[in-house]
Amino acid sequence: MNLNLVASTSTSASFEIKNCECFYLKNKADLYLNGEKIFTTDENVFTITDLKPNTNYNVFIEDTLTKDKSPILNIKTHFEVASINVLDFGAVGDGKTVVTAFLQAAIQCCPTNGRVIIPEGTYLTGPLFLKSDITIELKKGATLLGLKERENYPILKGTITGTEKDFYLGSWEGNEADCFASLITGIAVHNVNIIGSGTIDGNADYDTWWFKAKEKRIAWRPRTIFLNSCKNILMEGITIKNSPSWTIHPLMCEELKFIKLDIQNPFDAPNTDALDPESSKDVLILGNTFSVGDDCIAIKSGKIDISKKNPVPSENISIRNCNMKFGHGAVVLGSEMSSGIKSIFIEKCIFDSTDRGLRIKTRRGRGSKGIIDNIHVKNIKMDKVLTPFAINSFYYCDADGKTKYVWDKEKLPVDDRTPYIGEIYIENVTCTDAKVCATFMYGLPEQKIERVEMKNVSVEFDENAEEGYADMMSFLEPMKRHGMYFNNINHLLLKNVTIEKALTDKITTLNVDDYAN
């Protein structure tokens, strides 16, 4: 067994066990810190907390059955200039007193390379704004609880007009738009850690933020955590739940790590995606557990108006050892992808009871900069997923989503509104108890999907499956236990692909130029 350090702060360290298993270990492992056993884990990713700053430690793990040990890993925690406690600034954790100003004071007063400690208790608060070069630690039993009333939430304007350029501030579904500040808001900050065993509770429900979810009321709904133009951000260990809309939304950020998070939203809570990196790069999503009311992970890059003014793609995003229990899609690309999405690596994850596994959503009108390319999916286990693989170039979103321009299956001219899907590689994936369609991939006739390779993929259907829709496309008929469907693809390679208990042909290919199996 090999053990890698993936993140560290002054008081915590996160590790990944290198193996071929998905999320869970084959056997449990005991963790030793400085020769002393401190806990047993059954997961590939774990975090050690309550360490001392600027201190050397050695770490190794031992398989509880085989007694195999990993090599000893020597680590050193980060230097810390000071730690401050929010209680010393007047905050009280009684869940009744509004303590926004006291928490914000602690954040603002924390020295560079210092740590803000939020101890056990429930802290009722409005939006808090981050500053650079600090760590915020939520101790076990600590909860930041969001206020329900809109009047307690500042408004982030969609655009701030500058003398030399405009600044993109507020965002809603891929457009510049006025939105409420989020419970945790970071604007152009860097070197920030949000860590610990505590909870951030957006406190949303159907009487507040989820009521008339698609209706703008004063401004668009906040996220729980919104990061705009930030760099080198770590979120580690915390639980986040009851988000007003998307739970974590990084926009135009770089060097992000999301490790060992537990994100929980009700299955029917509208638009409560877990994690939506938008126009962001160098992102690590590792060891997380998601159960939400929309997509678990949705990678985006804005709509066409943004891509014309400030095209920033999402790129170099790694998703590993995550457990996605419920959601509309496990890993989704789009549909707001007008600035491009490229170099995405999805490995060693579990997709359990999501509507779709890998899902790519686009449509005419996303624009010629809307390029999805170099997508890799490897070593995935899916169970009870309606459609394990879906690529839809006719996704019927937005006000014009059901117009003939979007749904027309005839070849239209390629122009500056035409998106592009490049190369997709899928390998070593097992799907059990699938429901609707094993694979549904439908490219544009005028701009076909360039390449799809699927190797060592097995799909077994649930014999009791009911009808459903493979994806959201106008005039698409419902399906049940449908085999693999491919339409408008330049190059298609299927190697060691098996389909069991299908009610249709196992593989259907239409308008595929180069097909090999």
Helices H / strands E in the chain, number of each: 3, 44
Distances (CA, A) of 101 to 86, 90, 374: 11, 9, 46
CA dihedral 459, 460, 462, 463 (to 10 degrees): 130
Report d(CA 60, CA 110) in Å as an integer.
Answer: 34
Q: What are the tokens at 37?
A: 């056993």
The rounded distance, in Å, linking the Cα atoms of 281 and 316 is 6
Per the annotation, the verdict on 205 as an active-site residue is no
Q: Where are the beta strands (DSSP E) in 50-113?
A: 56-63, 73-76, 83-85, 94-98
Return the H-helix or E-strand segment holding 345: strand 341-352
> Cα separation of 277 and 285, whole Å?
10
d(CA 513, CA 486): 11
**Separation of alpha carbons 333 and 40, rounded Å:** 36
Q: Which residues of 130-158 are buried (b: 16+ CB within 10 A; e: fewer)?
A: bbebbbbbbbeebbbbbbbeeebbebbeb
Which of the residues 294, 352, 373, 471 is marked catalytic? 294
What DSSP letter does each residue of 193-224 carry, written as one string?
EEEES-EEE----TTTTTTTTTS-BSBBPP-S
Beta bridge partners of 439: 389, 484
Tokens at 24, concatenated: 């869970």
Given the residues 328, 352, 355, 471, select the one marked as catalytic.
328
9: closest CA among 49, 58, 61? 49
First to last CA, the chain: 36
Six-digit token string for 93: 């954790």
Q: What Cα–Cα distance (Å) separates residue 167 from each residue in 281, 306, 315, 344, 464? A: 19, 12, 22, 28, 53
The question of whether 416 is a catalytic residue gets the answer: no
Which among 506, 498, 458 is positioned nearest to 482, based on CA atoms? 506
Give residues with Cβ within 8 angstroms of 371, minimum separation 6. 313, 340, 341, 342, 419, 420, 421, 422
Q: Are 453 and 426 in contact (CB under 8 A)?
A: yes
H or E element: which one contains 318? strand 314-320
Concatenated DSSP letters for 7-51? EE-SS-EEEEEESS-SSEEEEEEEEEETTEEEEEEEESEEEE-SP
Beta-carbon contacts of 389 under 8 Å, excluding residues fewer than 6 positions away, are 356, 357, 358, 426, 438, 439, 440, 441, 454
Active-site residues, by number, are: 294, 328
